[in-house]
Amino acid sequence: MDTPTGPTFRDATDADVDDLVALVESAYRGDASRAGWTTEADILDGQRTDPEGVRQVIKTPDSRLLVVEREGRLVACCQLEHRGTHAYFGMFAVSPTLQGAGLGKAVMAEAERVARADWGATEMHMTVISVRDDLIGWYERRGYRRTGETIPFPYGDERFGIPRRPDLRFELLVKSLV
């Protein structure tokens, strides 16, 4: 009897760029993203990332792009960036057809472990579009707290998408890692 293997984690390489762009886009944009619950298709059109943006994360010092594979297939990813006493968590994507089965929790736990073990980070920071109440609630159930600190959405910069509403902004969420 074949049993599925659990996820494996590794750092992304240039060879992963196209697959990573496809994964991130599938989790957040367009009709394909509606297969999962993390879609932003109702609030943003256009791209979520591009090859240049992914390559930049891979090459940036003090940054890692963790790739998650299951049975040889890329199924999730997240960015970690060392920023002094804290780490930044971003570019988090789970294949839409695998969402809701615990993979996201496993990715977050590994990201937090890496930030503590490799960088001695005492906090994890992330920014989330403030109107994403369901997603923010998911992070809150994992120990993140809303700070009330917001950053304007980059309207007019299509590298971040094309907004479908005028009230978008990012909110900083923080979790203690100690």
**121: phi then psi, degrees, rounded to nearest 5:** -65, 140
SS3 at position 175 = strand
pLDDT of residue 148: 96
Q: What is the pTM of this model?
A: 0.91
Residue 6 contacts residue 69 (beta carbons within 8 Å): no
Gyration radius of the chain over CA positions? 16
Structure tokens at 143: 């120990």
pLDDT of residue 5: 67
* Distance from C-alpha of 38 to C-alpha of 146, rounded to nearest angstrom: 18
Q: How many residues does the chain have?
A: 178
pLDDT of residue 129: 94
pLDDT of residue 8: 95
Return per-residue pLDDT of the chain as tens, 178 residues: 445 567 999 999 999 999 999 999 888 887 777 877 778 888 988 888 999 999 999 999 999 999 999 998 999 999 999 999 999 999 999 999 999 999 999 999 999 999 999 999 999 999 999 999 999 999 999 999 999 999 999 999 888 889 999 999 999 999 999 9
